[in-house]
Each structure stands twice: as C-alpha cells, then as structure tokens.
Amino acid sequence: MTERDIEVLRPTREVGIVGYGAYVPRYRLPASEVARVWTQGQGGLPIREKAVPGLDEDVITMSIEAARNALARAGVDAGRLRAVWVGSESHPYAVKPTSTVVAEAIGATPHIQAADWEFACKAGTEALQAAIGFVGSGMADYAMSIGMDTAQGRPGDALEYTAGAGGAAFILGPAEAALAVFEASYSFTTDTPDFWRRADEKYPAHGERFTGEPAYFQHITAAATTLMKALDASPEDFTYAVFHQPNLKFPQRVAKSLGFKPEQIEPGLLVPVIGNTYAGSALIGLTAILDAAQPGDRILLVSYGSGAGSDAFSMRVTDLLPERREQAPRTQDYIARRTEIDYATYARYRGKLVLK
C-alpha cells in the first residue's frame, strides 16, 4: 500500500470540540536550578522552567479542574456526558480509575463510561480518537477526553529538567455545537522501545539516542504526512500546528522538516515555560492555540507516545469559538500564575524526600 492509498479516520456524523479546558499547577522549577544541583551549572538548558504540582495535587485533582473549565466553555450539563476518559502515565492509583473520581466530582455519574487510558505521552489523544468514534457513531452526544500528567524524572537524569505537570480536557460533541470541527484523523503505530517504565519502577528508562529518529521523528512525520495527503492539504493550508513537545528542539525540528514555519507552531509551543507534560503535552498546546484562533482557522494536532505511535487530527475553527472561550481561564492565565521554587522545595513537593 502506498501512503496515498491509506484510509484516514472519518466518523459517520461530523464531530467537533464543544468545550476545552487547561490546567497548569502554580509552581515552577527553573532548569538552572536542576543544573545548579547536578552539573554545577555547566551545559545548556533544554527549557527555561517546568511546572510542578503542589503537595495536594495529582492527575485526579488536575483533571477535575481542566474538566470543569471544559464544561464551562461547552455550556453542557455534566449529566449529558456519556464518557469521561483520562489518559496519563501518572495515575495516582495502580488499580482504581482516575476517571471515576473525576466523573463524580464534575457531576457526570452514574450513566457514564469511565476509563483510564495508557500509551505514554499519547494516552490523551488516544482517548480523543475514541471519543470521536463514540460521538461520531451516534452512541453518545457528548464525551470527555483528558490528557494529564505529573511526570517523573529520576533525580539527576536528563528528563528531570523537563518532566513537567499539566494537561487539558476536551468535550467532543456534534459539529453543530462545536468550537472546532474535526476534518479527519489518523493513527500510526509500531513496536518501538524508546522509553518505558516497568510495572513496579518509580522512574522511567529511555533508549538514549534511540528516542529521536526511529521514534519521535518517524512516527510524527508518518502520521502528519499521511493525514495531509488524504486531505489534499499542505503545511501552508494550516494556520497553526502543534506537535508533542518533549523538549524545545524536537517539535521545532519536525515542524521545519514537514514544511511548517515557526509562527505556525509558536502559539502552541509551551514546553519552554511548563516543561514536557507527557499525556498533556500536545493537548495543552492545542488549548493555547484555541485561545488565540479565529473562525475559519485550520489546525493540525500531532501527538507522540513512546512505544510508539502518533495520532494526527485536522480541525477547523467555527464562529462559536471567540465567545465561548471567554467562559473559563485561558491557558496563558495559568502560565502567568507562577511561583518559582528551588530544588529543595521541588524535592519535597515531588516526594523525593522520604520521612520514614
């Protein structure tokens, strides 16, 4: 099969985003603090700073706030949701769904599907694909998909500079009520061991240089080009694009190689100021774009999850967006709400100090 022959995903009825909400915790750890402790300040810094959750925050509490923001923008009663799906690699429980607590807290129980999704950094967009199917088939009118993480990096590991916290919630619904309507989507998946965490391990392991070319770049490039070919679209047809952001260099490089200009990815490129939010990364970038987009704008979203795969989505903004986005805090409002912490406070907040 050549790439041109591949069928992309289109639901039976048109589906769109009817509400979206972001969340970023208040605390920030500058990359220079990590460098001060581990490298005497030597070497380059991959980002400026990363968002760190407070002592009383986790993927459940952060998802609840993003979900409430999405409901406020959707103007839909929570009782009309038929699914609450949360993608993350830092679910607070190993066994007991994050999604049941979130669904209960937002008032969506009990006539609802609830499940936690896992696929490294694309668990959230995987749930988004599923919600398009759920709504697009007519099984549900509204479904919520969340990508949220409180990422862990082993102290001193390169990942500690970037492993951040944050994410976003999306309510999908019929196109008539949508702020942005999906044109088509596509997923590209292979078995690629670039990054993993074994069942009882606290910190992940990664394949060093193996994480780039055969992993991130191959999957994102394949997903993006296949979707664009099927839509007969090229990079200049999109107002904005957002790619998974494990660091600053990767999304900049993949955007350039695909033919996107820096200004197309800039509004959604949040990794320098919040870090890599894993399952939340591409999705929270999309919220920042929706905060700025105008009716008619076309947006390309491409996630990447280690293991490995990419989900690609193309959507068009409708006339409903400008008014409805005012119903909840903007992503930049959360980014501006900022308290800098030092490495010692970070170590305490992230449970790296053991009291007994």
Partner 1 sequence: MEVSRHWRLKKERYAMVGEVCPHCEQKIFPPRDICPDCGQEARTLFRFSGRGEVYSYTTVYSAPTGHEVNAPYTVALVRLEEGPMVTAQLTDLGEKQVEIGMPVEMVTRRLRAEGESGILVYGYKFRPQLSAS
Q: Give the list of residues 6+ apart from residue 77 with CB closer than 8 angstroms, or none.
A: none
Residue 311 interacts with partner 1 (CB under 8 A)? Answer: no
Q: Which two three-digit tokens encode residue 58?
A: 């986790």
With CB under 8 A as the contact rule, the residue among 49, 58, 126, 183 that binds partner 1 is 58
CB of 147 to partner 1, least distance (A): 19
Look at the block and give the residue holding tokens 């494990």. Answer: 246
Residue 342 interacts with partner 1 (CB under 8 A)? Answer: no
CA 242-245-249 angle, to 5 degrees, is 105
Residue 191 interacts with partner 1 (CB under 8 A)? Answer: no
Helix (H) or strand (E) holding 15: strand 15-23
Per DSSP, helices labelled H in the chain are 31-38, 59-74, 98-105, 123-136, 218-230, 249-258, 262-265, 271-274, 281-290, 321-324, 331-336, 343-349
With CB under 8 A as the contact rule, the residue among 61, 125, 247, 318 that binds partner 1 is 61
CB of 109 to partner 1, least distance (A): 9
Residue among 105 and 121 whose Cβ is closer to partner 1:
105
Residue 101 interacts with partner 1 (CB under 8 A)? Answer: yes
Dihedral over Cα of 271, 178, 20, 186: its sign:
negative
Q: Which stretch binds partner 1 (CB under 8 A): 2-10, 252-260, 283-291, 327-335?
A: 327-335
- Rounded to whole angstroms, the maximal C-alpha distance in the chain is 60
CB of 324 to partner 1, least distance (A): 18
Q: Which two three-digit tokens encode residue 83?
A: 């699914």
Active-site positions read 89, 121, 244
With CB under 8 A as the contact rule, the residue among 55, 261, 262, 266 that binds partner 1 is 55
Residue among 93 and 196 whose Cβ is closer to partner 1:
93
CB of 22 to partner 1, least distance (A): 12
Residue among 55 and 139 whose Cβ is closer to partner 1:
55
Residue among 1 and 353 whose Cβ is closer to partner 1:
353
CB 185 within 8 A of CB 261: no
Look at the block and give the residue holding tokens 């596509």. Answer: 186
CB of 276 to partner 1, least distance (A): 22
Cα separation of 312 and 112, whole Å? 27
Residue 75 interacts with partner 1 (CB under 8 A)? Answer: no
Burial of 255 (0-12, 13-18, 19+ CB in 10 A): buried
Q: Which stretch binds partner 1 (CB under 8 A): 80-88, 177-185, 287-295, 326-334?
A: 326-334
Of 22, 18, 51, 104, the C-alpha closest to 285 is 22
Of 265, 292, 157, the C-alpha closest to 211 is 157
Q: Which stretch binds partner 1 (CB under 8 A): 29-37, 58-66, 292-300, 301-309?
A: 58-66
Which residues of the chain form contacts with partner 1 (CB under 8 A)? Answer: 26-27, 54-58, 60-61, 64-65, 92-93, 101, 104-107, 329, 333-334, 337, 339, 355
